[in-house]
Structure 1
Amino acid sequence: MIRLIGILAGLFFTAGVLWAFGNGAYNHITEPPAPTAEHHFHKHPKPLHLASDGPFGRYDKQQLQRGFQVYKEVCSACHSLNHVAFRDLSQLGYSEAEVKAIAAGFQVPGIDPNTGETTTRAGLPTDYFPKPFANDIAARAANNNAVPPDLSLMAKARHNGPAYIHSLLTGYQDQPAELLKEFPDAKTPAGLHYNPYF
């Protein structure tokens, strides 16, 4: 009896899934979705061939250090590296003394041992990179109501991550006139910039 009930329940769920799929396919054919600006003007990342690609890929440590310098001087004003500790910089070729010096150049949150109040202190290699904003409200206020994403795992978080990041960074341009002609509501708001890869 239990076996019969299990078979009937399985058939019921299978029929439900087939009906939902068939109904969705029928609706998609009879009423195709309206064209959108994203459908017409969104671009996929440009192909990017890096020395680090493949199983035998390797990283150029000087390039990685220049990338960190760009992050430190430009990106860190808005973007965090929540999942990266200062000690991880040794993987970029920095010595232990250099890692300590870099960490000491950042102020990280701490607690005063005498009063128990929050304070800041010089970073240690075991600390993680501090957030550029105290909270999401402050981040939104400083960035046109948008919270800048954390960059720790961005290359892993996006499909074809390194190519996506490269295309995004090099893809800012004027908004195409044909986009605004066909989709007038797609105008990029003031203070923001058009990027077909975003």
Structure 2
Amino acid sequence: MVRLIASIVGAAFVLVLGIALFGSIQGVRNDPVAPTAESVAHKHPKELELASNGVFGKFDRRQLQRGFQVYKEVCSACHSLRLVSFRDLTKIGYTDPEVKAIANQWVIEQPSINPETGEPATRKNIPSDHFPSPFANEIAARAANNNALPPDLSLITKAREDGTAYVHSLLTGYTTQPAALLKEFPDIKTPTGLHYNPYFANLNIA
């Protein structure tokens, strides 16, 4: 008797669930979700063929060093590399003396303590140091970037789906906001201080 009652209750639950699901599907059919600017204009990363792809892929060290130069001269103003040490640069072909010079000449110094006064201070970087953050903390980073937090780039290609292609598309995808898109969605004009990029989720990026 108990099993019979349990079976009836279970069947009733499944029936109610089925009716609710059917109603939801019908609701979507009768009242489809209105398209948004993001759903219309957002693009997936372009396919990218690299020499490093595949089991037998290899890296061009000169190319990697040019990439580091771009980070040094452009990206480092906003983005950190908190999981990377200066000495890791030997892995892309820099010599120990070159790494020592890069660390010593890095614009942002390491936070430290003055041993004589106990006051906060800074010191020159050494090869074993991690790359210093361009901002003191998250609050300072957001204040300088329209409340957006620039992501750390240490593992960025692993942290994003199809990471290498995503980063390439993002960096080369800056463009003018299409007039047709703005006409269809007049409220999505790119805010001051940001730039239109169809490869970024909300289309606007620093």
TM-score range, shorter chain: 0.7 to 0.9
155, 160, 165: which one aligns with 2:162 = 160
Gap runs ≥5 in structure 1:
none
Q: Which shows bigger deviation, 52-61 or 29-38?
A: 29-38
In structure 2, the residue matched to 1:179 is: 181
Counting only pairs closer than 5 Å after superposition, residues 23-172 of structure 1 correspond to structure 2 as 25=25, 27-106=27-106, 107-172=109-174
> Counterpart of 2:187 in structure 1: which amino acid?
D
1:62-108: CA deviation from partner (whole Å, max 9, x where unpaired): 11011111111111111111111111111111112211221112311
> Counterpart of 2:74 in structure 1: which amino acid?
V
Measure, in 1, the Cα distance between the counterparts of 2:52 and 2:169: 17
Give the superposition deviation at 1:112: 2.4
| Secondary structure of 1:184's aligned partner | coil
Measure, in 2, the Cα distance between the counterparts of 1:25 and 1:125: 60
Measure, in 2, the Cα distance between the counterparts of 1:23 and 1:96: 68
Give the superposition deviation at 1:125: 1.4
1:32-67: CA deviation from partner (whole Å, max 9, x where unpaired): 222111111111111110000111110000110111
> Counterpart of 1:50 in structure 2: which amino acid?
L
Measure, in 2, the Cα distance between the counterparts of 1:23 and 1:114: 74
Measure, in 2, the Cα distance between the counterparts of 1:115 and 1:153: 38
Give the superposition deviation at 1:141: 2.6
Q: Which shows bigger deviation, 58-67 or 19-28?
A: 19-28
Measure, in 2, the Cα distance between the counterparts of 1:24 and 1:116: 65
1:136-171: CA deviation from partner (whole Å, max 9, x where unpaired): 222223223322211111111111111111111111
For residues 23 and 113 of structure 1, do their structure 2 counterparts lie closer, same or farther at Cα, with a shift above 3 Å needed? farther
Q: TM-score, normalised by structure 1?
A: 0.85
> Counterpart of 2:84 in structure 1: which amino acid?
V
| Secondary structure of 1:110's aligned partner | strand
Give the superposition deviation at 1:116: 3.0
In structure 1, the residue matched to 2:203 is: none
Q: How many residues align?
A: 189
Q: Which shows bigger deviation, 181-190 or 115-124?
A: 115-124
Measure, in 2, the Cα distance between the counterparts of 1:128 and 1:149: 16
| Secondary structure of 2:112's aligned partner | strand
Q: TM-score, normalised by structure 2?
A: 0.81
Aligned-pair Cα RMSD in Å: 2.5
Gap runs ≥5 in structure 2:
201-206
| Secondary structure of 1:119's aligned partner | strand
For residues 84 and 33 of structure 1, do their structure 2 counterparts lie closer, same or farther at Cα, with a shift above 3 Å needed? same
